[in-house]
Amino acid sequence: MYALVDCNNFYCSCERLFNPKLEGKPIVVLSNNDGCAIARSDEAKAIGIVMGTPEFMIREQLKEHNVKIFSSNYTLYGDLSDRVMKTLASFVPRMEIYSIDEAFLDMHELQHTDLLKLAVEIRRTIRKHIGIPVTVGIAPTKTLAKMANRYAKKRYKDVGVYWAADQRLIDEMLAFTEVGDIWGIGMQYARKLTLKGFKTAMDLKSAPDDWIRQQMSVVGLRLIHELRGQASIKWEFTPPAKKNICTSRSFGKLITEYKTIAEAVTNYTALCALKLRQQNACAARLNVFLQTNPHRTQDQQYMHSVTLALEVASNITSELIKYALKGLSIIYKPGYNFMKCGVMVLDIIPQDKIQYSFFDTAERTKQRTMMQAFDKVNRVFGKDIVRFASQGFEKKYRLRAEFLSKRYSTNIDELVIIKD
């Protein structure tokens, strides 16, 4: 058996955790730059707030219903997610973290355990120790476990658990689930399947293998096997190394001057370099891109990118910054109102498989030692305590975050203050 544990309305639950007055009140969390609604409490869903709607389009609705708005606080969410995942890992031999608020648990070695009681205990422990409500779905495959989790939210919300322990319970869940709500079925396939007469997961389960392979390829066939109780999706107990890494952000306001954009590019490059070192990898190419806002028809439009090949694949921040700024100098044009820039590192290879140039004169052993010390200081004392001068301090390009809550669990200066 597998379990899928999902934190309920995770971002909203994180905000409520440190402000109990928000219990029962509608909450919306906005995306970067306070753009769109990316998380909604059940109360916000009930008044018709649609996922992904731009904030300016629902501003009056938010005011009318006194909806509490928050900017994305990824520092807080990431820390609480880490606590949830570490707690989950204590219950089972193996676990796969699927997203910031979801994890699959491998329960195959727990044959003599009452899985229903275990699921209830998982919910109780996470709520007691961390304060985040979760839902647990248990079934023979990952796809069915994901479905069981959704079914628990729809039909057994107060219990928060559904264990598809036998075929009768599995069929009950399959008959309830529409084709478009199956994990892995996108809108295009959902439309096609509905037109062919497949309304529910139960209908799809009985589809002929040859037809599924022809219409949905091997991936679709694997999905059908999962619906039939045959585990066909492999487990990733350790996340695979990334093939490309990109860091990009929209600016908090439109920016024209080169200096401010260069500071943003430098900081994004430093973040890419850090991610490379964290997976013991190096990049052989680097891409820089820059663009204006296509929705501002009154502005001149410009979008350009350039990719540069490094002489030797690297994860050294200073070296990557040099290439990134060179790329920016090539594509930058004065007089435009730029909305966004980004950096992408490409052709990522393991650090121990670098092909060095015969003419390479860089002291790479010394540079790696320096970066290890650099990362250790920042890990112990805080992000960007040590930085390169070109990263600057002003951050005029910073994302707009007018409704940002405090970093209650990671910053000692922002701890919750309890008053008598």
Decide: 293 and 299 in contact? Cβ < 8 Å. Answer: yes
Phi, psi dihedral angles at 104 (to 5 degrees):
-95, 135
**Same domain, residue pair 376 and 303:** yes
**Same domain, residue pair 36 and 109:** no
The CATH number for 370's domain is: 3.30.1490.100
As a whole number of angstroms, the distance between CA 16 and CA 24 comes to 10
Residue with tokens 């080169």: 258
pLDDT of residue 306: 96
**Same domain, residue pair 294 and 306:** yes
User: Structurally, how many domains does the chain consist of?
Assistant: 3
**Same domain, residue pair 306 and 349:** yes
Written as one letter, the residue type at 364 is R
Domain for residue 401, yes or no? no
Written as one letter, the residue type at 320 is L
pLDDT of residue 420: 64
**Same domain, residue pair 111 and 198:** yes
Per-residue confidence of the chain (420 residues) as pLDDT tens digits? Answer: 899 999 999 999 999 999 989 999 999 999 988 889 999 999 999 999 999 999 989 999 999 999 999 999 999 999 999 999 999 999 999 999 999 999 999 998 888 889 999 999 999 999 999 999 999 999 999 999 999 999 999 999 899 999 999 999 999 999 999 999 999 888 888 898 898 889 999 999 988 889 888 888 888 899 999 999 999 888 877 777 788 999 998 888 899 999 999 999 999 999 999 999 999 999 999 999 999 999 888 999 999 999 999 999 999 999 999 999 999 999 999 999 999 999 999 999 998 888 887 777 788 889 889 999 999 999 888 788 899 988 888 788 888 888 989 988 888 888 888 776
Domain for residue 111, yes or no? yes
As a whole number of angstroms, the distance between CA 229 and CA 169 comes to 12
**Same domain, residue pair 102 and 67:** no
Decide: 290 and 261 in contact? Cβ < 8 Å. Answer: yes
**Same domain, residue pair 219 and 269:** no
**Same domain, residue pair 264 and 319:** yes
Specify the DSSP element, H or E, that contains 261: helix 258-278
Domain for residue 403, yes or no? no
**Same domain, residue pair 71 and 127:** no
Residue numbers of the domain that contains 184: 80-227
Q: Which of 44, 59, 76 is the last residue of a domain?
A: 76
pLDDT of residue 372: 92
As a whole number of angstroms, the distance between CA 377 and CA 78 comes to 20
Instruction: Look at the pTM and tell me if it is higher than 0.85.
Output: no
pLDDT of residue 381: 84
**Same domain, residue pair 290 and 332:** yes
Domain for residue 407, yes or no? no
191: which 2 tokens? 């439309």
Domain for residue 72, yes or no? yes
